A and B are shown apart, each in its own frame.
Chain A
Amino acid sequence: MQGLENVTMRYAGNKTSGIIYLVSDYKDRGLILERISKYGGEITTLTDEQKAEIGEEIPDSMVVAKFDNSKNAYQYYNETDAKELHYNSDDYEIVELFSNQIGVYRYFREKNRSFVRPASIVLMIVSAFILAFTMAHLIASSTKTFVLYRSIGASKSQLLIIYFVYLMELCVRAAIFAICLGLVLAAIMTGVGWSYLLERLVEAYPNVPKFPPILLGINWQCFEVIVCMFLAAPVSFLLCLDQFSNKKIAQKLKGD
Chain B
Amino acid sequence: MDIVQLRNIKKQYGEKVIFQDINLNIPAGFFTVLRGESGAGKSTLLNIIGGLEAPTSGEIIVDSKDVRQLSREERTNFYRHEIGIIFQGSYLQPQFTLLENITLPGVFAGMPEAERKQRAEQLAEMLGITENLNFLPKEVSGGQAERACIARALLLSPKIILADEPTSNLDEANAKTVLEILNYIRQQMGITIIIASHSRDVMEFATQIVEVANGAIKITASQNQVAQSAMPIQNQIAQQSAPAQNVATSQGVVSDNQGNL
Q: CB within 8 Å of B: which residues of A?
A: 144-145, 147-156, 158, 246-247, 249-250, 253-254
Contacts and interface: CB of A to CB of B under 8 A. Distances in A.
B105 A148 contact: no
B80 A153 contact: yes
B53 A254 contact: yes
Contacts of B93: 145, 148
B108 A253 contact: no
A131 B79 CA distance: 33
Contacts of A145: 93
A144 B44 CA distance: 15
B249 to A, nearest CB: 25
Interface string B100-113: 00001100110000
Contact of B91 (A148, A155, A246): A148
27 contacts: A144-B91, A147-B87, A149-B108, A150-B52, A150-B79, A151-B79, A151-B85, A151-B87, A152-B79, A152-B80, A152-B85, A152-B105, A152-B108, A153-B76, A153-B108, A153-B109, A153-B156, A154-B76, A155-B72, A155-B76, A155-B108, A158-B108, A247-B54, A250-B53, A253-B53, A254-B47, A254-B53
A48 B93 CA distance: 79
A250 B52 CA distance: 6
Contacts of B85: 151-152
A149 B109 CA distance: 11
Interface of B: 13, 44, 47, 50, 52-54, 72-73, 75-77, 79-80, 83-85, 87, 91, 93, 104-105, 108-109, 152-153, 156
A230 B57 CA distance: 43
A145 B104 CA distance: 12
Nearest to A155: B76
A246 B54 contact: yes
A147 B52 contact: yes
B55 to A, nearest CB: 10
A132 B160 CA distance: 40
B191 to A, nearest CB: 16
Given A144-B87, A148-B91, A254-B44, A154 B53 contact: no
- Of the listed residues A153, A247, A250, the one surrounded by the most CB atoms of chain B closer than 10 A to its CB is A153
Contacts of A254: 13, 44, 47, 53
B111 to A, nearest CB: 10
Contacts of A158: 108
Contact of A148 (B53, B54, B83, B87): B87
Contacts of A151: 50, 52, 79, 83, 85, 87
Contacts of A253: 47, 52-53
Given A144-B87, A152-B104, 6 more contacts: A151-B79, A152-B80, A152-B108, A156-B72, A247-B54, A253-B52
Contacts of A148: 87, 91, 93
A153 B75 CA distance: 9
Nearest to A154: B108
Contacts of A149: 104, 108
A250 B156 contact: no
Given A145-B93, A150-B79, A156-B72, A250 B152 contact: no
Given A145-B93, A254-B13, A152 B47 contact: no
Contacts of A150: 52, 79
Contacts of A153: 76-77, 79-80, 105, 108-109, 156
A69 B147 CA distance: 71
Nearest to B156: A153
A144 to B, nearest CB: 6
A254 B87 CA distance: 13
6 closest pairs, A vs B, by CB?
A153-B80, A152-B105, A250-B53, A155-B76, A151-B85, A153-B108
